[in-house]
Structure 1
């Protein structure tokens, strides 16, 4: 089964799903956000994990969409917190409507996510909801750590990896675990799927950090250098702060971090040059590959025919090689 078949089925499910009708101000923003595209990576992982163990992977579509609705709920609220003007190249919900509408629509999206999750079989329902609850709380924990880091100057590499594990990776892990649970794959298999997803999720975020500095502006889809402009505590910045100690780059890097007024393009160019002089890109790519390779090793341990695992291997390679 190809990625295209799974993706088409998910897109059809998204198009057919109704979240509510009235008042329109509550439900229209949900339809709007869900229609903006995106990679649909999380529901893809769920249906592909289900397909490893059963041909009846369509039974995973509604719960998989539940994961995607939850993910978009977090984006809607994140955009409010970040005062972000754009999402996937279009106005964010709080910009198109207002923050109060975005908060309330986001709240009902969470309810819709739970409603879609009820499509799982009764015998796994309680366990699925328990794992979903834990994952949802961890995503919020990750977001709070990310906000905490903005005002701290002592963030460690270990703390950063744990933050992106919570904010990004655990939901990818749950997406795969959910597919294993739906297919009744067994405890060992679902744990391996979860571990696979968590590791590639960390690799995915590290790739995002690299693209933010070194991506092609035409392909990346958002401003290159945004993390540098905001002094965001990415793996690249933390490693640069560590490796520049006692070197000429230390004072130069700190000058740009402390600057209150600056030309954005000049700052991005200057900090990128510091990264280049310290070899940060190669180190970040090695770290990224470490997590992707660990994830692929988890998948290799999974007791299933290789042809059943091939779509997940292909998707992982696409994530490693992506330019946006």
Structure 2
């Protein structure tokens, strides 16, 4: 009689104890050990009291004013128990640290901290700014930041219309600051740089040739994240239909824009959403060279592996892990953004 495998002799309660401490690639390794381990019930990992420094995805339920927090490493979704009236019928626009910039209707803008529930109001927008579609801000607006400004611009117009305000001012009037720059990826693949100079009109410069029309027609979504180590920006292009992924590095060399298609993030993880993205040193074993999108499969977070060119999801309770070369079965929340929480 053939001897039993050593892995078959481990009691089920020990296997469950082991599985409860596995995250990321450890989950796949556990499943691959043998047939019995592949089909054994797994206990979802518990978030430690002091979890790894990892971005979380904030989703705003505009119909109820409730906020969801998704923690990608542990595949855990937590929800605020209290509806916040101010957040109803609102939309997330941008984020820095724990702070979200949120719009309500066509005129009202405010900051919201989902960790502390603090709100900082901004003056109502004038009528000429109500169609501004892209928003960002320079730094967290709390008391430690004395130079936080909000900037919004519209893709229409050449150059695009811009509105700016310094936090604490009462009107959306042109108040400009020295050495502040906003990078904007154009809808044709070129790069626009908005420079905000002290006591002068903000100036635009555009760099790089437009992509060919055939290529432009294939792009459905574009995400951008700062690449500090390489002194540039990363642009993630997601195609229509199947959801093919390309990553390009944009970098200014003097007055020349250098664009390079890259196939590896090395030991880094990219977290992308339409309103804001960030590049982090690998947040857990096996998540290097991966892109976390603001997408879900059966309520489980989804990441894309640049090496395998497939989408994956951890399902700690499922028998078989999800993997796919397309995005046909994935769901996107309507108002969400990744934040780099200072107080998880």
State the TM bucket, normalised to the shorter chain.
Answer: under 0.3
Structure with bigger RCO (C-alpha 8 Å, 6+ apart): 1
Instruction: Decide which structure has greater helix share.
Output: 1
Compare CA radii of gyration and give the structure with the larger one. Answer: 2
Q: Which TM-score applies when normalising by structure 1?
A: 0.28
Instruction: Decide which structure has greater strand share.
Output: 2
Q: Which TM-score applies when normalising by structure 2?
A: 0.26
